[in-house]
Structure 1
């Protein structure tokens, strides 16, 4: 039986992993702490590592894992911008869950939009105090509005379909347009100019880092709404805050935040948040922040567990690593896998 270190563990993580681990012949050693260069030493004597989106898998962490004969690191998420693939190449195979439930994330994006537009969060607080006034709760019809979708992978395309169901006009930007999708693709600047609402569904790369910034915001319509369920650093948070303060941006629904790694998934209800930008964003009546929960459905958790365990099984059984990603993948966008369908 293989023993696997499991980092950044929460109760909801364990449910499906515990149900399925015997089927795959694994035993998990759960750690609540995040994986980083300080905690990597806890993997001594184990056979592999399961990590999450906010773990710090840098050169030092990888070196410590490699020195302890760890040869497989399974990300139980789709994103991988927290991994130093150059340091991992040739030492540790890195696998991920490329898709767990595009519907879960796309539906949460729409939930954020509906909440912002119809002031559900404010109405909920009022009625809890038996205040049934509807002053200040006016929204607008989504029907006929232009939705700009940045990124049309699986999640983005599901979100496009949801928007069309509301009768919205959808335009999209993606450097790799989906073939035969029926989606109207435009250049990014045109999307910024035409959209009433912009929803981000792109990975975090050098090209997409701070894709929403002071200059791009200046191109947008006054009162535009921004939705981000992808990666926090797609948005320059300070530029977003300033645009909300001056009214250029009419609202923001954020499930991610660029400096979230030490905050999200934890309980700080009895502490003072030291991140002034996040604290001010949360204080705004036209901002809704959720704590990276867009993926959090039972179906998604099951798919994450099944794919992660299958990734581990493939590695230990010497099979092709279907969901491996490496330095070549990250650098060039493709990888000619070598022996037995592995990156090295």
Structure 2
């Protein structure tokens, strides 16, 4: 049955289109240009767009298609509030903010977008590694204070050093090739060893003592939660650099603080922290988060740590690819539903 548009209105700051026979699509965490793009892409649907996370959208009972980003948690409770939900598209590579088992039990399709930002995130990963190795953030602080002085700014070459890449998927592979291009030796840690990447693979305990740079590009799953903990830092080569553009909970933040204070880790570049939604003010802090939140805040102000606000994916080109892929996935779903 064709979906004929009837009118459009704005409700409590959220633009909403109303149709005679609507299929409701909800897009959270949308900037204005994204919202306009999605409205144009689905003119015959009831499209709701909001800059808020899912937790802050009050009326979601009629949602049939949901598109979120990583700061919207979609668990069993949220799915219960959307009894008509049939499709979730997360505009991200990771899916750790979605309860996949709960979705499968309810017959809800879930799609991520694994390749929109692989090159983009890999570039940011290399940027953080270079910046930490050359103490860029400290140099900027010196010159902004009005001093033109090299004191305390001695850096390190990366050529000839060993990078251990944990997670050699699309992002990890691209980073590995970049690291090789600047003269680094690359070791991979991954349950799937792909020979075409052209690197040597080792188990993590065997790779850590060789790491001049430990680079985390793996997904957050049960096996990788706090993968880099006190035990891992005890095995890590002293004076190593750490870069994490994957997920915050892969690193045990208090253990990282101790490793920094003890000189085991010389410097860290982090694009992710645990409990980011709380740090952003999207949700209220919970008692069980206290230790990790305190450690995360300490890392943000640590003199040998660079923290960026989960922006490794955030380029014009990557966002355009993300939008196009989102529309393609939803369009495919709608065509199957309407067939």
What number of residue pairs does the alignment pair up? 306
Structure 2 CA distance for aligned equivalents of residues 73 and 281 of structure 1: 33
Q: CA deviation at 1:17?
A: 5.3
Structure 2 equivalent of residue 99 of structure 1: 115
Cα pair 2:24 2:46 within 8 Å, conserved: yes
Matched, 1:211 2:238: no
Structure 1 CA distance for aligned equivalents of residues 100 and 322 of structure 2: 22
Structure 1 CA distance for aligned equivalents of residues 281 and 146 of structure 2: 31
SS in 2 for 1:261: helix
Matched, 1:291 2:291: no
Structure 2 CA distance for aligned equivalents of residues 162 and 75 of structure 1: 28
CA deviation string 1:288-331 (max 9, x = no partner): 00110000011110111011111111111107xxxxxxxxxxxx
Cα pair 2:35 2:50 within 8 Å, conserved: no
Structure 1 equivalent of residue 296 of structure 2: 278
Of residues 16, 29, 52, the one that matches 1:8 is: 29
TM-score (norm 1): 0.84
Structure 1 CA distance for aligned equivalents of residues 35 and 145 of structure 2: 41
Q: Which runs of 5 or more structure 2 residues have no equivalent in the other structure?
A: 4-22, 283-289
Structure 1 CA distance for aligned equivalents of residues 319 and 78 of structure 2: 26
Distance 1:27 1:124, change over 3 A: farther
Of residues 49, 65, 73, the one that matches 1:30 is: 49
SS in 2 for 1:141: coil
Structure 2 equivalent of residue 49 of structure 1: 66
SS in 2 for 1:142: coil
Q: CA deviation at 1:171?
A: 0.8
Structure 2 CA distance for aligned equivalents of residues 308 and 277 of structure 1: 35
Cα pair 2:61 2:81 within 8 Å, conserved: no
Of residues 41, 65, 85, the one that matches 2:100 is: 85
Structure 2 CA distance for aligned equivalents of residues 100 and 142 of structure 1: 28
Structure 1 CA distance for aligned equivalents of residues 324 and 271 of structure 2: 24
Deviating beyond 4 angstroms after TM superposition, the runs of 4 or more aligned structure 1 residues are none
CA deviation string 1:178-213 (max 9, x = no partner): 232211111211111111001001011111111100
Within-5 A mapping of 1:107-256: 107-256=123-272
Structure 2 equivalent of residue 329 of structure 1: none
Structure 1 CA distance for aligned equivalents of residues 193 and 319 of structure 2: 29
Cα pair 2:60 2:81 within 8 Å, conserved: no
Cα pair 1:50 1:74 within 8 Å, conserved: yes
Matched, 1:315 2:333: yes
Structure 1 equivalent of residue 318 of structure 2: 300
Cα pair 2:89 2:111 within 8 Å, conserved: yes
Q: CA deviation at 1:16?
A: 4.6
Q: CA deviation at 1:265?
A: 8.5
Structure 2 CA distance for aligned equivalents of residues 20 and 205 of structure 1: 31
Structure 1 equivalent of residue 7 of structure 2: none
Cα pair 2:87 2:109 within 8 Å, conserved: yes
